[in-house]
């Protein structure tokens, strides 16, 4: 009976201190997340615009195509790195607050950048190569790849969220569950 009263009286005070710590931590994690998201959007916006500006070049088409490929090639790993960093920060925010908004914002960021790249930028590049006789193909596979990638990343985010929520529930069970477990495990007096 002594253990049960200890859990009921002391644990809620400790839980309050933990919640206070979590609120401060979550506020800072959210600010860090939003800062990195903003920097990622600026960096990706720069590479998308700069790649597109190469397609508007009035110089040699082969040089413009090489410039586009170089800058679009730099943007692709940057997108993956920023998405992974944002997803890791989203995991931390989900763990601290049990809210998954950051993970889904990361997915929206990734999906928007992939749509920009494969549905707009790659199609403009495909048309540029066709009009300047740099390519004689008639079919662009990019949009199909984009749809598959977006679906795969959505599944990864969903299952990642599912795993983090389940792990968090095991690490921090509700107080009622702790009281019920200790009451059941006490030997009768």
113 class by beta-carbon count within 10 Å (0-12 exposed, 13-18 middle, 19+ buried): buried
pLDDT of 115 reads 94
pLDDT of 69 reads 87
**d(C-alpha 60, C-alpha 64), whole Å:** 6
Q: DSSP string of 90-152? A: HHHHHHHHS--HHHHHHHHHHHHHHHIIIIIIHHHHHHHHHHTTS-------HHHHHHHHHHH
Structure tokens at 181: 């477990």
What letter does residue 118 receive in the DSSP assignment?
A: I
pLDDT of 19 reads 53
The kind and range of the H/E element at 30 are: helix 2-55
What is the mean predicted confidence (pLDDT) over 66-77? 89
Q: How many CB atoms lie within 10 A of CB 36?
A: 14
Check the CA dihedral 74-77-83-86 and report its sign. Answer: negative
Query: What's the mean pLDDT when you consider all of the chain?
Result: 81
Structure tokens at 120: 């707009």
pTM: 0.77
């Amino acid at each position: 009976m002594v253990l049960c009263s200890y859990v009921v009286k002391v644990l809620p005070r400790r839980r309050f201190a933990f919640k206070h710590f979590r609120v401060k931590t979550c506020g800072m994690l959210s600010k860090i997340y939003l800062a990195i998201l903003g920097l990622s959007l600026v960096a990706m916006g720069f590479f998308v615009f700069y790649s597109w500006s190469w397609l508007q070049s009035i110089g040699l088409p082969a040089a413009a195509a090489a410039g586009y490929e170089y800058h679009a090639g730099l943007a692709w790993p940057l997108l993956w790195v920023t998405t992974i960093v944002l997803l890791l920060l989203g995991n931390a925010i989900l763990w601290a607050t049990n809210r998954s908004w950051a993970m889904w914002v990361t997915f929206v960021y990734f999906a928007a950048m992939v749509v920009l790249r494969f549905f707009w930028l790659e199609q403009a590049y495909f048309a540029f190569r066709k009009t300047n006789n740099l390519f004689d193909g008639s079919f662009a596979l990019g949009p199909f790849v984009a749809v598959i990638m977006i679906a795969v990343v959505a599944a990864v985010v969903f299952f990642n969220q599912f795993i983090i929520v389940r792990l968090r529930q095991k690490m921090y069970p509700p107080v009622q569950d702790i009281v019920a477990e200790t009451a059941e495990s006490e030997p009768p007096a």
